[in-house]
Structure 1
Amino acid sequence: MELIYIVAISFCFIVQQNYATSNNELIVPYDTDANDVYTNDFLVKLRPNFQRIDHAEEIARRLGFEHLGKVPSSYKLHHFRHPGLHVASEEPSLTHLLNLRLEPKIASAMQVSGYDRSKRGYGRRSKQHSYKGLDPLYPYQWYLNNTGQAGGVPGLDLNVQPAWDNGYTGKGVTVAIMDDGIDYLHPDLRENYNAEASYDFSDNDPFPYPRYTTNWFNSHGTRCAGEVVGKADNGICGVGVAYDAKVAGIRMLDQPYMTDLIEAKSMSYKPDIIDIYSASWGPTDDGRTVDGPRRLTLEAMANGVNNGRRGLGSIYVWASGDGGSYDDCNCDGYASSMWTISVNSAVNDGATAIYDESCSSTLASTFSNSGKKIRGSGVATTDLYGNCTLHHSGTSAAAPEAAGVFALALNANPLLTWRDIQHLTVLSSTRNKLFDKLHKWKRNGAGLEFNHLFGFGVMNAARMVKMANDWKTVPTRFRCEAGGTDKPHFISSDRPLTISISTDACDGMLNRVKYLEHVQAFITLDSTRRGDVTINLTSPMNTNSILLSRRPRDDDYTKGFRRWPFMTTHNWGENPKGKWTLQIAFKGVWPQQGILREWKLLLHGTQEAPYDNEIVHGDESRLSVTKKLEHDEELTEDFAEKIAKAAFRAAS
């Protein structure tokens, strides 16, 4: 039998109480054992003085709903529909119900449920289920399903299976791989290749196929593409995170040198077709370079987030860098940009990879190779000329995984803006089992847990998709110049600099900021050895961000920093009012000295609370309590594991 979901608009259908008709006949709803789902339709009863259609339309419009008229069986009931909700969910949307019930003009409201009805005389069509695991490399794709293979920790993965099971596979989303080209003839990629959105800026033609080399040097883009859109259950290689998404190849890394024009054209190519741009490249990770996008590229990125995707904003995903402890990704102007989502990597047991760079601009983490000589500990994906590999590596592998998760979220809710995606990343990422010996997990003033290496945690596809379904677009963003200094300040190894400014966060002005997203410190500084400079920024809510760590290979003493925009995400959700403190010191073997010539503090955020009309205020807010519960669950699991191990040792 062909399956049809019927959404009840009749009042008697879902109400969990009895109702009398006009002639006093009692209507008793059926008490069934059907597995109902919750739709994006709501029944709304208005108060007696607000029964007119224009009242209902005004209320619906103000609360983000569509008014679809009165219910035929009752002149008192109105049919509201929320376009941002999924048409069928397992859980009711308590947020939208609460918003309706708190409206003074509404007497009552309920969410309409949906159920199965089948045509008689037809065989029932089984639900089209998710991935079946028929690809030969799937057992090695621990970042998708970590069962403990290759020495990993079970459960430490992207948690994609529940998202797939709910039908979110990236369909309708296009991800561009900006790299050295992709093998679009590969049997695991060709069905998902979007030729219309692809271009070769290295050779100026529409065919971004990798240039042949004997050492397969130009396999980078093809490997990244397979992580995102590798076809499911076709018996070839593995499976992509968003295996029904489309992939565009933008070849722009394979010419003698990079230009501002090539970068700008690449990042602004077909912005109404391409949803997500994934970049696994940047300035040289040598621990001594400070570089970032030039003027045309900056303009292209700004235009992308403001006008791409028909005004919703292009999504730029960036690998944080492979310079390891010798480098700092805040010296990479691409990874530290507010307009990009900087992604770091963890290995399959939750530890830091040896190549990971740390910085305060990293938003979240995914996974990559551990460096251990264990078969299957790398990233399994497609390779050139129809081949497969188990050895994709570095943060290059981390960024495409994140792009795939974002494709799943856009599949669930195509109306998400570029800032919605960043907020969802912050809220849905979790600590899981990630750990680093040097940088411990901390909690900011808004109750959000973060780590200097891993950002707000490892990305969780199932959580992100579930939140995306009911997501309300975040409020308008504002920028406030909070203050600073242009007076020279001397710094030396035995005289670190501590300087503070107090700000009202532009209170009373049109650009007031109350809830933070990104914080930038524009700094001009000269020193006898740039690599020994360390910079910390402490917020009014006492959250410390390491803006710059020591880079032992950086011997510069002439260039310094010139209005360099150090950025932190660690203050996400905090109130910026109060005293901000900048600390600059030297850490190294030999005595050094320097001069801070300028510091300007910029605050970026909203005036309205971005989450359900509530942001964290103290320890009892909804967001803070949620994060604490997650932490308590992790502690409980750890405690239970310790008890089990102790019992085992005692028994043996």
Structure 2
Amino acid sequence: MEFLEDFAINNNSVIKQILSGKRTFFHLLVPAVFLFLLASTPAAGESAFVPNDPYYLYDAVTRSGFPGQWHLKNTAPSSFVFTDPSNSNTYTMTNANLSANLTGAWNLGYTGKGVIIGIVDDGVDGTNYDLSPNYRADLSRNFSDNATVAGASQGPQKLSDNHGTAVAGVAAARGGNALGGTGAAPYAQIAGLRINIGDETDDDPEVSAQNYRDAYYWKSGIKADGTRESAATIRVKNHSYGPSVPFLNEDPDGSLRLAVKRTALNNVIHVWSAGNDRNTGNEDATKQQIISTPYVITVAALGSDGKFANYSSYGANVFVTAPSSRSDLTGFGITTTDRTGANYGYNLYSTANPKGDDTDAFPDPSYTSTFGGTSSSAPLVSGIMALGVEANSNIDVRMAKHVLVRTSDVVDANDSSASSFGGWRTNGAGYRFNPNYGFGNINAGKFVEMLKQVAYVTAQTSYSTGTVAVNTAIPDNNTAGITRTFNLTAAELNQPLESVVVGYTFTHPKRGQLTGTITSPSGMASRLFNSTTLLAAAKQDNTSVTNFQWDFLTNAFWGEAGIGTWNLGLADLQAGDTGTWISYLVTLYMGKMVLNTGTKITQTNNIQARSFSLMSDTASFENPAGLTLDVEDDILMSGGDFTINGTVEEDPAAPASEFYLEGGTVGGTGTIGFSGGFFNNGGTVSPGNSIGTLTINGNYTQGANGTLRAEVASPISSDLLAVNGAASLNGTLRTVWVGGATPDVNTVFGNIITATGGVTGSFSTLLTNITPTRVFKPRYLTNSVYLIVERDYANTVLSSVLSPDQSSIGSMLNSVANTATGTTGDLNTVLTAVDDLTTYGGVA
């Protein structure tokens, strides 16, 4: 373990990295701007969640030297002149007026409520006044090989354990309480998942592979053996750490990557920092193992000047960028929660707190203004992912990525840096990609808006070339290098591309001299890994390797068809040493997202989907007879129309899935099959297209806000909900009479529900009028519900137009209206005349 102070280019700012062995927190500390603790006024015109927290907005009158939490909403001036208190030097901090547009999501009402974010880090101080309202002690724990630490209450264990508390605040500090600041998801809950990547002691040993595995699986719904036991409790996990040297094999048996994959497939979204290693041998993030898998979101950092942060790692595996600090005093820092008390945390430095930051002048010791790095950009994305879970609970890492591709904003459009590999390139699907930024700066408002439009993401498929032998010498100091081509057909690539993973195996005396590239049939090129030859000699990777294998991931081809000839290259960019390209293996991952934007979607072929959602009142999807919609995960409807005339069912290989109907209408004459059950919590189930049967294979549960709608044409012709399972009833029954003459009282009609597993409960509201006074009443049997015609002079619809006295008379008439007395003689004649009235006003 060592504590490093590594000075940036101008030697004025301090990059403080807490290292343990070969791992580092991706956190930068920048000198504080002078701040004052004064309340702010919410901006005019905002609605939904509007923070009233004093550190949130820029205030030119009372806090002219403080940019506010600009990364969330940027109202700061175009520049600040900052005087370094340690040496009186002045610097200009530049503001390009960028942010992550949290107000766009907050104005829609999304705050992360009900979502839990796991902070895998050095501990979270759950007593901080802006973290305690969101902190879940019951879901937090320490992961350590030391039994005493593992059994202790979660939280910082040492004076240097400051990082996780700051990370947690960026993601989910409680906002709107007129205290401190706010996080991106101010009402999300926080679970501290403490691992020791900081100072190693005898009592607090360095994190082990087992500690990592345990943290990844914790509350993910997946056991360590891969068995699924439940839905994930913690839906988002943030990882603001990583190796500080290139090609560190932290996962030789693949168990860490397997844990990430398994939990991601159970809808845990893992967000990872890209790293703070620009201008070092580890600057290319593809040289990190865990984040070169398709199951994580890798985040770079954007300075307030609108350009990549001067420390931010880059690479083909970077997916998105988010605002954070710069370390050279040309950009703002990040204000977030700190450990409680003056002698703890980054703020303040003292003899009692030598781990504090001597440049942090923030007057509130429970907050710091000098946080940053990709350690801060990652939890900003994690908080936005929590907003996404709230907006569409079917979101997983693949859905999140598909939406990020379409909603992230291009920044620094003229970037021509060497690390950009030619700047922003537009791929064959029309998406722009830059390894400094991925697909751009995250836009929270656009992100959650599009999530509401997602109908489904198809089940992921993949194709592999298999291991292809090359066994060819790599030309020395030759930028052209050597290339190999392979051709892919439509039979092999049956969906648009997502990530592409290229495994190289090579031998070379100085690994850092090599660079790899791949070019798709569209002409889109991606650098899979960069050489270190342009770095200072001391920073170059001069490691000698034999039969070295590494998987490099690129996102640059997202959405492309990929059909045709691909070119794969490997080149040596420095004279004096030669190596051999031994083999390669390319794996292409595929899938697509389908949006429902108001135009009816009619299924035209069998579909395998990861999940399925209809989220707006204008959404419409039809599953025709003879076609199958196969879903690996749940179906969630909160609006729109879903017509099922074919089959909609869970994937047989998937765990028990569920159909949640929160709003909208499900109808048709097809079959629905979900072993986890069909839950009608607030929508309408309407069997048939006119008169017909809708079949549910599995249990049917109708809640207090659910509705069953049944058309009735005659005693032998009515809609039927056929449940091959148990039916639990509540809520509303609505019937629609489509027959001819009004049926006689006590006429028995057929079943509207059958349930092989039995019927329990009953409808709490009946909207079953044939006429204003003649209605259908359900009769409940062990395995079915049928209808009978009755008079009802106090029915729900009629009562809405009756006076209290009239309602009392109606209730009195009901006591005899359906008896022998009421269905014969003079009383029947009178009641029949009332029944013949066709308007509710006429009855009243």
TM-score (norm 2): 0.54
Q: Is the 8 A contact 1:502 1:579 kept in 2?
A: yes
Equivalent residue in structure 2 for 1:174, among 116, 122, 126: 116
Pairing 1:106-125 to 2, within 5 Å after superposition:
none
User: Could you tell which deviates more after superposition, 186-195 or 146-155?
Assistant: 146-155
Q: What does residue 497 of structure 1 align with?
A: 481
Q: Distance in 2 between matches of 1:152 and 1:494?
A: 40
State the shift of 1:497 in Å.
Answer: 3.0
Matched, 1:264 2:213: yes
Q: Percent identity?
A: 27
Q: What does residue 519 of structure 1 align with?
A: 500
State the shift of 1:212 in Å.
Answer: 3.0
- Secondary structure at the aligned position of 2:106 is classed as helix
The 1:462–1:137 alpha-carbon spacing in structure 2 relative to 1, beyond 3 Å, is closer
The 1:467–1:199 alpha-carbon spacing in structure 2 relative to 1, beyond 3 Å, is same
Q: Is the 8 A contact 1:350 1:434 kept in 2?
A: no
Q: Is the 8 A contact 2:49 2:109 kept in 1?
A: yes
Equivalent residue in structure 1 for 2:410, among 412, 424, 431: 431
Q: Is the 8 A contact 2:454 2:593 kept in 1?
A: no
Pairing 1:75-154 to 2, within 5 Å after superposition:
129-139=48-58, 140-149=68-77, 150=80, 151-154=93-96
Bigger relative contact order (CA 8 A; separation at least 6): 1
Matched, 1:602 2:579: no
State the shift of 1:597 in Å.
Answer: 0.7
The 1:361–1:611 alpha-carbon spacing in structure 2 relative to 1, beyond 3 Å, is farther
- Secondary structure at the aligned position of 1:519 is classed as strand
Matched, 1:541 2:522: yes
Pairing 1:247-258 to 2, within 5 Å after superposition:
247-254=190-197, 255-258=204-207
Equivalent residue in structure 1 for 2:374, among 395, 400, 407: 395
Matched, 1:579 2:579: no
Equivalent residue in structure 1 for 2:424, among 425, 428, 441: 441
Matched, 1:317 2:298: no
Q: What does residue 368 of structure 1 align with?
A: 324
5+ residue gaps, structure 1: 1-125, 615-652
Equivalent residue in structure 2 for 1:274, among 227, 234, 241: 234
Between structures 1 and 2, the one with greater strand share: 2
User: Could you tell which deviates more after superposition, 489-498 or 337-346?
Assistant: 489-498
Q: What does residue 241 of structure 1 align with?
A: 184
| Larger Rg computed on CA atoms | 2
State the shift of 1:131 in Å.
Answer: 1.4
The 1:610–1:603 alpha-carbon spacing in structure 2 relative to 1, beyond 3 Å, is farther
Matched, 1:550 2:531: yes
Aligned amino acid, residue 144 of structure 1:
L
The 1:144–1:262 alpha-carbon spacing in structure 2 relative to 1, beyond 3 Å, is same
Q: Distance in 2 between matches of 1:483 and 1:300?
A: 24
User: Could you tell which deviates more after superposition, 328-337 or 146-155?
Assistant: 146-155
- Secondary structure at the aligned position of 2:552 is classed as strand
State the shift of 1:296 in Å.
Answer: 2.3
Q: What does residue 334 of structure 1 align with?
A: 290
Q: What does residue 345 of structure 1 align with?
A: 301
Aligned amino acid, residue 150 of structure 2:
N
State the shift of 1:302 in Å.
Answer: 2.0
Q: Deviations over 1:428-450 (max 9, x none)?
A: 11114566341211101100011
Matched, 1:477 2:460: yes
Q: Deviations over 1:511-569 (max 9, x none)?
A: x4330001011111111211111111111111111111122434444335633111100
Q: What does residue 337 of structure 2 align with?
A: 382
- Secondary structure at the aligned position of 1:176 is classed as strand
State the shift of 1:501 in Å.
Answer: 2.5
Q: What does residue 644 of structure 1 align with?
A: none
Q: Deviations over 1:221-277 (max 9, x none)?
A: 000000011111323321100001001100012543232111111001001210001
Equivalent residue in structure 2 for 1:210, among 156, 166, 174: 156
- Secondary structure at the aligned position of 2:112 is classed as coil
5+ residue gaps, structure 2: 1-44, 59-67, 81-92, 198-203, 221-231, 342-365, 603-844
Q: Is the 8 A contact 2:310 2:328 kept in 1?
A: no
Q: Is the 8 A contact 1:429 1:458 kept in 2?
A: yes
- Secondary structure at the aligned position of 1:581 is classed as strand
Q: Is the 8 A contact 1:482 1:503 kept in 2?
A: no
Matched, 1:559 2:545: yes
Q: Deviations over 1:124-145 (max 9, x none)?
A: xx99732143323543211111
Q: Tell me the matched-pair count.
A: 473
Matched, 1:200 2:128: no
The 1:269–1:561 alpha-carbon spacing in structure 2 relative to 1, beyond 3 Å, is farther
Q: Distance in 1 between matches of 2:547 and 2:101?
A: 41
State the shift of 1:371 in Å.
Answer: 1.8
Q: Is the 8 A contact 1:169 1:245 kept in 2?
A: yes
Q: Is the 8 A contact 2:481 2:572 kept in 1?
A: no
Q: Distance in 1 between matches of 2:477 and 2:131?
A: 58
Equivalent residue in structure 2 for 1:164, among 106, 111, 129: 106
- Secondary structure at the aligned position of 1:192 is classed as coil
Q: Distance in 2 between matches of 1:250 and 1:153?
A: 35
Q: Is the 8 A contact 2:499 2:553 kept in 1?
A: yes
Supply the RMSD in Å over aligned alpha carbons. 2.3
| Deviating 4+ runs (over 6 angstroms) | none
Q: Deviations over 1:69-111 (max 9, x none)?
A: xxxxxxxxxxxxxxxxxxxxxxxxxxxxxxxxxxxxxxxxxxx
Matched, 1:301 2:260: yes
Between structures 1 and 2, the one with greater helix share: 1
Q: What does residue 397 of structure 2 align with?
A: 418
State the shift of 1:472 in Å.
Answer: 1.6
Aligned amino acid, residue 337 of structure 2:
T
The 1:602–1:516 alpha-carbon spacing in structure 2 relative to 1, beyond 3 Å, is same
State the shift of 1:361 in Å.
Answer: 0.6
- Secondary structure at the aligned position of 1:474 is classed as strand
The 1:187–1:278 alpha-carbon spacing in structure 2 relative to 1, beyond 3 Å, is same
The 1:359–1:343 alpha-carbon spacing in structure 2 relative to 1, beyond 3 Å, is same
Q: Is the 8 A contact 1:536 1:582 kept in 2?
A: yes
State the shift of 1:482 in Å.
Answer: 2.9
Aligned amino acid, residue 181 of structure 2:
G
Q: Distance in 2 between matches of 1:534 and 1:487?
A: 16
TM-score (norm 1): 0.69
Q: Distance in 1 between matches of 2:448 and 2:207?
A: 36
Q: Deviations over 1:450-490 (max 9, x none)?
A: 11110000000000010011212211111101355213011
Q: Distance in 2 between matches of 1:458 and 1:362?
A: 12
